[in-house]
Structure 1
Amino acid sequence: MTDNTKSTRNALGSSSLNYSLLDLAKRGVLTLLLLTLNYISLFAQAPPFLDGKYDHWADSVLSTLTPEERIAQLIMIPAYSNKDKVHVDSIAGLVEKYGVGGIIFFQGGPVRQAHMINQFQQLSKVPLMISLDGEWGLKMRLDSTVRFPYQMALGGVDDEKLIYDMGAEVARQAKRAGINVNFAPVVDVNNNANNPVIGFRSFGEEKENVTSKSLAYMKGMQDNGVLASAKHFPGHGDTNVDSHYGLPVLNFSKRRLKDLELYPFQKLMDQGLGSIMVAHMEIPVLDSAENSPSSLSKPIVTDLLKNEMGYKGLIFTDALNMQAVAKYYPPGKVDAKALVAGNDMLLNTMNVPAAITEIKAALGRGEISQEEIDKRVLKVLKAKAWLGLDKWEPVETEHLIADLNNSEANFLAEKLTKASLTLLRNEENVLPLKGLGKTKIASLSIGANQRTEFQHYLDRYSPMDHFIFPKEGSIEDINALNESLSNHQVILVGIHGLGIREGRNDFGISPEMVTLLRSLIEKHTVIVSVFGNVYSLGKIQGLENAAGVIAAYQETPLTQDLTAQMIFGGIGASGKLPVTINHAFNRGDGLKLEGGIRMAYTLPEGVGMASMDLDGIDSMMRMAIKMKAIPGGQVLMAKDGKVFYHKAFGYHTYDSLQEVRVDDMYDLASITKISTSLAAFMHLKGEGKFDENQTLGHYLKAARGTNKENLVYRDILTHQARLRSWIPFWMSTVRKSGKFKWYTMKVDSSRRFPIKVADKLFIHRKYDRKIYKEILSSPLNAEPGYVYSDLSFILAPKVVEEITGEEFYTYLEENLYKPLGAGTLTFNPYLNFEMDRIVPTEYDSAFRKQLLHGTVHDEGAAMLGGVSGHAGLFGTSNDLAKLMHLYLYDGLYAGEQLIASGVVKEYSKCVYCEEGNYRGMGFDRQNKPGDPNGNAAASTSEQSFGHSGFTGTYTWIDPENKIVYVFLSNRVHPTRENRNIYKLNLRTNIMEEVYKAMKKARLNE
């Protein structure tokens, strides 16, 4: 438990005094209870602005105001930054003519709103108090801002320090945007599942939990200079009428109100709550007058809130244009009644002159005194001084959007959302999903009309079929889906588009949706993720029978992202249900789930770095594109199993027609060596079927009797076996005239020429024999020593096939790629993927006479039908990173030891360092440790290893720092003569930026 959490809980108290009060209440000793509450309030913390140091400014300002201007200081008018100039001018006129005390802003944008604030403040005689409803941050009202989780989601978060931090960040953003008061937290105890107006806005149904969470949020804001406002007094949690449209009636006893609804308000008051918003509700036990909303009730605002509960902070009405009050009283009269009732600030006054006129009339009738008005104006002015409005400065609009969307705020939103995710069912520990290699998975979005972001994020972990069932889905659609899904073992269901609709409480869940879900649960392993109001769980009959159930609370890109990560074990789960839904889902339910078995996706802050410290990577990539070193590319960085940087830059080609996306596929070139041949050898090593101390001839019959027979694999894999560097096989297919020899290539496929080399180019079905024969008959280098060679890797698929009896790719797919969920690691991607996902490479003017798109760049691999052990593999940076993480964790990934422990460590070690060959067995290593111009980042550890590719690809693993780096580009476009990528040292310099960011983070600790 953090210190802050301890102090929060201590502040709430479970003392003997509290228990004695409860006992007294149960015995009905109400008078003594009220006396005791008043006694406690004597020792309660006062609102922060009641410090005497604000008195002088408040007194001096009050003395300058006319009686009308004093009344106007108690008026807060509504404004929108998404409306036209007529609206802006009308607000400016009210500010300048009447001197209103404040403005509450609704929908709009931060910059537009800031300009309005500056304009209005400059027109105002007394600085305006600016407010906003920001229950889940400024995003509740303003675009281009950070969205934090709903309070209901936070109700199940254990770490209340996170909620304090959210309050602090909301305050920082509010101040930056010129906002002084945030009408939050909602402290209503939502114990009515059919509540149409509070629901997800509440922290839950249990008063202590609501109180502790609200207190953390309040303190976070007020400790950082923004006034909090607890709402909706005296408690809107158990109503079935929305006060925006009607007047709710609370037929509760006073004892019940004191014990439940008023409990959080009193606790926050005792801790210095700055303001309260009074709701519009009829409460007969407190005010017997008919149609008497609480906001207009003197017995409730003055007698209960001020006198009995001892509250001395600012009291705001709820919006006075809401139908709960507006249907009974016209503008002006409703304002006067609210002021007479005891409120300090009149929110959403719709007719300022009428309000001032009616309040002056109330003064004349003796319903309120000038002394009382002045007292409230002084309170408002003191609050303004505490808010710094006595020294007001214009809102700086330059960089405002960037400042409101800083990476720390986004990371906090991520942490809060992650902590809120609630796992309610996990039968037989189905989550996180395991055994991807043997499981056919499908995703199904219910209530959506197109593929959802949830499905997009699921794709990062494993290939799967995606299906949609819209809100208007029929029985025929159900039958069709059942048929399509019949051969899938696991179905990942997301329920979308949930919301309360007027006159309905089913959240948009149709009988057909329920029928479909129940039929699937009967036949498949179904994991259901509910993206929306958690009360909707109770409307899905049979949901408790699903193998997995996840409450995500709301439908945002972040919740869908993190839920996908949780399902596959990138992250864990720790949230608790803050309300009871039905017999199956009760308050406090929530299973713990450990994460970290697969890659997670986070911000740099998630691994201890600052996002801004990695801006250099973006700059380098943009510069490389500008200098035409590359048309575009992908950069992926991971640390501790968390992908913290994954971006795409530029275009597929220099015509700038197709932007690079992070899930586009690149020709990996020589990274194929460590991703196919070496991967297979290491897997076989773990099975006892391959030994690097054996010879090529031992495994490959065709090598016996040749000068390659006795080459030892330790030497072969370290490029120390005297093999020639390469052989230009394609040249032997071309006549001097430039045309292909008749028995080599044809423009059309046929039985004799079935193997595709490139578009409209097919090679003889037995030509591979000539290639293998040429390799085996080639002379060895006269001198021993390091010479990088493709030749043994071209032979590798034949070696693997002889050892296993399986086709090369099939062996890799079944034993490595499928278990990893790396579905894009493939040869000849044109066979199974859309062409717009595949990035072209070179325009081959010598051999294939075309732009190479979907077929391999390497000539030799192309002549082998695109399948080889030295080149030919395609993939995304994300899927390649999965394989690299398998290597980082010494053959272990997602709980499966796919390569025997110790094998990767052995193969990645330097074998002949003393001879000047720094390579491992198959892996490249630093050839110049610490040299910024070497083949690896200067700061990478001595244990690091990886490989590069001719087409502009690169991957590197640093076991000491637990870093995986993948860089994909097509630097050979349009020609391999383009060597700017080497001149810029781009690939290694990018990785060095990460080490710089890590070093800076350590210095700042």
Structure 2
Amino acid sequence: MIKKIASVGALSLLFVSSLFAQKKPEFISFVNQKHAWVDSVFNKLTPKERIAQLFLVRAHTNLGQKYIDSVQNVIQKEQLGGLVVFQGGPVRHVNMFNKYQKVSKVPLLITFDGEWGLGMRMADSTISFPYQMTLGAIQNDNLLYDMGRQIANDFHRIGMHFNFAPVVDINNNPKNPVINFRSFGDNKYNVVRKSKAYMNGMVDGGILASLKHFPGHGDTDVDSHYDLPQLKFDKARLDSLEIYPFKELINAGAPSVMVAHMNIPSLDATPNIPSSISKKVVTDLLRKELGFKGLTVTDAMDMKGVKKFFPNGEADVMAIEAGHDLLEISENSGRAIDLIEKAIKSGRISQADIDVRVKRVLAAKLWLGLNKKTEVSSRNLYQDLNSPSSQSLVQRLADAAVTLLKSDRGIKRFDAKRETAVVSVGITKAEDFETGLATQLSNYKQFFVKGDESEEVLKDLMKEIRGHKQIILAIHDNRSRPRSELAFTAPTVEFIDKLAGRRTISFMFTNPYAMNSVDVMRSSSVVLTYQNDFFMQKAALKVLLGQIKAEGKLPVTISKDLKYGKGL
């Protein structure tokens, strides 16, 4: 009898597990169907509360309790649709989410910019995956799918639902100040493959993903956070390049598209109009021409790229008029809701259009399971968000991205017993690469070059370094985000150029475009890691020690000799 009860219990557990394992219905068709729960919720909302479902408010936990409480008051008063989550700690975030959900009539849709996972906003306490440019070098796209699934798991664990990723912009401007390393690269086919794998991983994991920044932010030299970029390309060029990944991924079932703040005269000739609030872009191009039926969302409405020419809430009204489902971070959501309500009464905006969008947002919440309110537990949260399996995946991604740009001759000749000079440029103390290397070398001397030393100091260093039989040159970009140019003085650049010779193995812990800042290609071997993080340094050390083979390929063209796809 005990055995029978035990077996029934096991079957019940299997049944419950299978329920959770069941794949969700296809999102696009789901949010465009009628649902009893959606109609029930919709009918209980006032006209203002319906409009409020289209708004996402900024949320932090690193700005003090007063700020947290002020956002709660806005949510409670206006009954907004959801949050856009920024910096803070995971436990504080969970506590904030639980409080906010309790005062919301309709469960909040909690969104987040997590292009490289939770670490994009919570770097000190959660895992960061490699940047998209780094991922663009990987040849096994299944790894990106696995990353998407893991990020979905992390979102579920912390109580979030919607990741504003992947970036599908083609970075064909090396000086791009806002996309750059956030892009998978400059090859549209590789961008589509990588984006699709990442997107599918997240959606299969049960969260929403959003393609950004439509219709393509990769060839701009202005940051739309601070001004309005302009794309002067004709429609044919946009169709063949910028819009291509969006078109392909929409056909592959993308659940959401974020529209950027860019002025594109070939799409809308209205003076200074950002694409994010243009009906010709959002409705005519994205909805009608490309046939997109998922959620459209604006880039942040408090960015200067949109509010510069359309201030005082007019941009919010125009965003709704353009055809959006969700507005991210209005400067003043209460004012915007009032203005939209007036626009409906005046006939400027159709009530029927608003109703369709509100129901689509509610259907998205139903797809996510938000029809059942649940409280998120903070117990073991840090451990769950920093699991060994996640850390292992980060390292596997890093290992797969490392790119050998010149000959493995130097690596094959590397001898840990040989007298070695380790020259680290851009840092003042040992990082993971240097620390790990030190445990392997039996006879070495470490040199640090900050990057602003005088010519005389560098000449004396060169004399000492050249006395060593083996030289390891490690160039670090230790800034918070990898830039296209290295911030070294002319004497330092000359020092690097002279040091890179046949006895030298060079490692570039930098943005790939930074290869143009120095000349290390005379080295016996040149290894590129795309970023300076510890996991890339560990991967580079594995390559040097022969523990793994560098299999990454350049995701961008750097110069005539270092083109897309290069990697030995």
Instruction: Please report the TM-score for the alignment, with normalisation by the length of structure 2.
Output: 0.92
Question: Per-residue deviation at 1:450?
Answer: 2.0
Q: In structure 1, what is the equivalent of residue 132 of structure 2?
A: 151
For residue 499 of structure 1, report the CA deviation from its aligned partner.
5.3
2: CA distance, partners of 1:289 / 1:393: 46
DSSP 3-state at the match of 1:487: coil
Distance 1:499 1:247, change over 3 A: farther
C-alpha deviation, 1:240, in angstroms:
0.9
From 513, 520, 534, the counterpart of 1:543: 520
Contact kept, 8 Å, 1:239 with 1:248, in 2: the verdict is: yes
Give distance in 2, aligned partners of 1:399 and 1:498.
32
Query: 1:431 is matched with which residue: 404, 411, 426?
Result: 411
Could you list the per-position Cα deviations for residues 615-644 of structure 1 after superposition, in whole angstroms to 9, with x for gaps in the alignment? xxxxxxxxxxxxxxxxxxxxxxxxxxxxxx
Deviation string 1:344-383 (CA, Å, 9 cap, x unpaired) is 1000112121111111222233221111111100000000
Matched, 1:102 2:102: no
Match of 1:225 among 178, 188, 206: 206
Q: Give 1:458's aligned residue.
A: 437
Matching residue of 1:414: 395
1:178/1:395 contact within 8 Å kept = yes
Instruction: For 2:356 and 2:304, locate their aligned partners in 1 and report how far apart those are by CA, in whole Å.
Output: 30
Measure the CA separation in 2 of the matches of 1:382 and 1:465.
Answer: 63
Q: 1:557 aligns with which of 531, 534, 547?
A: 534
Write the distance in 2 (CA, Å) between the matches of 1:247 and 1:510. Answer: 32
Following TM superposition, by how much is the alpha carbon of 1:242 offset from its aligned partner in structure 2, in angstroms?
0.9
Q: How much identity, in percent, do the aligned residues show? A: 43
Q: Deviations over 1:764-796 (max 9, x none)?
A: xxxxxxxxxxxxxxxxxxxxxxxxxxxxxxxxx
Distance across 2 between alignment mates of 1:396 and 1:323: 38
User: 1:772-787 alignment to 2 at 5 Å?
Assistant: none
Q: Matches of 1:270 and 1:451 in 2, distance apart? A: 48
Pick from 501, 519, 544 the counterpart of residue 498 of structure 2.
519
Question: How does 1:356-435 map onto structure 2 within 5 Å?
Answer: 356-426=337-407, 429-435=409-415
| Inter-partner Cα distance in structure 2 for 1:317 and 1:432 | 51
After the TM superposition, which segments of 4 or more aligned residues of structure 1 sit over 3 Å from their partners?
A: 45-49, 51-54, 432-437, 498-502
2:225 maps to 1:236:
no
What letter corresponds to residue 557 of structure 1 in structure 2? Answer: F
Distance of 2:47 and 2:454 partners within structure 1: 66
Q: For 1:392 and 1:459, how far apart are their aligned partners in 2? A: 53
Deviation by residue 1:731-759 (Cα, 9 ceiling, x = unmatched): xxxxxxxxxxxxxxxxxxxxxxxxxxxxx
Aligned AA (1:232) = H
**2:195 aligned with 1:214:** yes
- 1:584 has 2:561 as partner: yes
Query: Partner of 1:534 in structure 2?
Result: 512
Name the SS for the 1:131 alignment partner: strand
| Matched residue, 2:9 | none
Secondary structure in structure 2 of the residue aligned to 1:210: helix
SS at match of 2:500: helix
CA distance in 1, matches of 2:286, 2:308: 25
The answer to whether the aligner puts 1:481 opposite 2:461 as a matched pair is yes
Q: Choose from 488, 494, 502 the match for 1:509.
A: 488
Contact 1:498–1:536 (Cα < 8 Å) also in 2: no
Gaps of 5+ in 1: 1-44, 592-1005
Q: In the alignment, is the contact (CA less than 8 A) between 2:452 and 2:488 conserved in 1? A: no
Cα 1:358–1:549 change in 2 (3 A) is same
Q: Do the aligned partners of residues 51 and 291 (structure 1) sit closer, same or farther apart at CA in structure 2, a change above 3 Å counting? A: closer
Check whether the contact 2:497–2:520 (CA below 8 A) recurs between aligned residues. yes
Secondary structure, counterpart of 1:390 in structure 2 = coil
Q: What SS class does the counterpart of residue 242 from structure 2 fall into?
A: helix
The 2-side partners of 1:587 and 1:400 are apart by 41
Q: 1:471 aligns with which of 451, 456, 467?
A: 451
Give the secondary structure class of the aligned counterpart of 2:178. coil
AA matched with 2:438: D
* TM-superposition CA deviations, 1:886-928 (whole Å, max 9, x none): xxxxxxxxxxxxxxxxxxxxxxxxxxxxxxxxxxxxxxxxxxx
Deviation, structure 1 residue 584: 2.3
Residue 118 of structure 1: aligned partner: 98
Alignment of 1:42-441 (within 5 A): 47-48=27-28, 50=30, 55-142=35-122, 143-426=124-407, 429-437=409-417, 439-441=418-420
Superposition RMSD in Å: 1.8
In 2: Cα distance, 1:510 partner to 1:498 partner: 15
Structure 2 letter corresponding to 1:486: R
Cα offset, 1:539, TM superposition: 1.6
Tell me if the contact between 2:484 and 2:512 (Cα under 8 Å) persists in the aligned partners.
Answer: no
1:195 is matched by which residue type in structure 2?
N
- Contact 1:49–1:383, Cα closer than 8 Å, also in 2: no
Conservation of the 8 A alpha-carbon contact between 1:243 and 1:324: yes
1:444 equivalent in alignment to 2:416: no
- Report the alpha carbon displacement of residue 501 of structure 1 after superposing the two structures with TM: 9.4
1:186 Cα deviation after fit: 0.4
TM-score by length of 1: 0.53
Aligned to 1:871: none
Paired residue type of 2:59: A
Structure 2 contact 32–360 (Cα < 8 Å) conserved: no
Which digits, 9 at most, give the CA deviation of each residue in 1:290-309, with x for residues without a partner? 11000011100010000111
In the TM superposition, what whole-angstrom CA distance separates every residue of 1:655-683 from its partner, at most 9, and x where no partner exists?
A: xxxxxxxxxxxxxxxxxxxxxxxxxxxxx
The SS at the match of 2:439 is coil
**Offset at residue 81 of structure 1 (A):** 1.5
Which amino acid counterpart does residue 312 of structure 1 have in structure 2? K
Query: 2:499 is paired with a residue of what secondary structure?
Result: helix
CA deviation after TM superposition for structure 1 residue 49, in Å: 6.2
Report the secondary structure of 1:287's partner residue.
Answer: coil
In 1: Cα distance, 2:365 partner to 2:416 partner: 60
Corresponding residue for 1:794? Answer: none
SS in 1 for 2:411: coil
What do the CA deviations read for 1:190-218 (whole angstroms, capped 9, x no partner)?
11111111111111111111001100000
Paired with 2:546 and 2:71, the residues of 1 have a C-alpha distance of 52
| Shift in alpha-carbon separation, 1:356–1:247, aligned structure 2, 3 A | same
Q: Answer 1 or 2: higher relative contact order, Cα 8 Å, separation at least 6.
A: 2
Aligned-partner Cα distance in 1 for 2:254–2:534 = 34
Q: Do the aligned residues in 1 keep the contact of 2:109 with 2:162 (CA within 8 Å)?
A: yes
**Cα distance change on mapping 1:459 and 1:249 into 2, 3 Å:** same
Contact conserved, 1:206 with 1:578, CA < 8 A, in 2?
yes
CA distance in 2, matches of 1:248, 1:352: 25
Letter in 1 for 2:369: G
Name the CA distance, whole Å, in 2 between partners of 1:110 and 1:321. Answer: 25
Q: Deviation at 1:266?
A: 1.2
Aligned to 2:6: none
Counterpart-to-counterpart distance in 1, 2:290 and 2:274: 19
Aligned-residue offset at 1:493: 1.4
